[in-house]
Amino acid sequence: MDNLYAAPVLLEHLKQKEEDYVIISPDAGGVERARAYAKRLGASLAIVDKRRDAPNQAQAMHIIGDVKDKVAVVIDDMIDTAGTMCAAANVLMDNGAKDVMACVTHPILSGPAIQRLEESVFSQIVVTDTIPLDEERKKCSKIKQLSVASLLAKAINNVHTESSVSVLFV
């Protein structure tokens, strides 16, 4: 399930608070995904320009776009070791974001991820339950897990009734 398919669940969470959001792509590959979120929220868009020194190690360089005094929401399809996410969050705060949060579809959370997230500047990391969190990961105070069950139920119903499934994601 790509992040855009989990978008209705994550967007609903973001819409619960009226904030001046700027949607962040943590890399060039995620720009299309971040742009789709920004459009649906009526928010601006920014991109983290980074270089990868080695696998699972990223060094964020600078921000393309304006994040000053806004709630920066980093959008990604998965979070593994959290190195890229945490580096992006630091750069966002250094560039004047008033708060930084993340919305991620798949919480892999391997290796040092939990410790990195706990020590990070993120106020919240919103994930879906496409990958269940074990007891250790549930203890992370910054993680909020949302269920995709109702979205999947609607999709199954639409298939069963021969209705459009794509309407759920547009």
Give per-residue pLDDT as tens, 93-109: 999 999 999 999 999 99
pLDDT reading at 117 higher than 70 = yes
Distance CA 67, CA 24 (A): 9
Query: pTM for the complete prediction?
Result: 0.89
pLDDT reading at 121 higher than 70 = yes
If DSSP codes are grouped into helix, strand and coil, which group holds residue 130?
Answer: coil
CATH class of segment(s) 3-168: alpha beta
Q: What is the pLDDT of residue 1?
A: 46
Q: Dihedral of CA 54/128/118/112: which sign? A: negative
Known catalytic residues are: 50
User: What is the tens place of the pLDDT at every residue in 21-66?
Assistant: 999 999 888 999 999 999 999 999 999 987 666 666 656 578 999 9
Sorted by sequence, the CB contacts under 8 Å of residue 3 that are 6+ apart come out as 10, 33, 75, 76, 77, 103, 104, 105
Res. 170 pLDDT band, cuts 50 70 90? low
Domain boundaries along the sequence of the chain: 3-168
Q: What is the pLDDT of residue 53?
A: 67
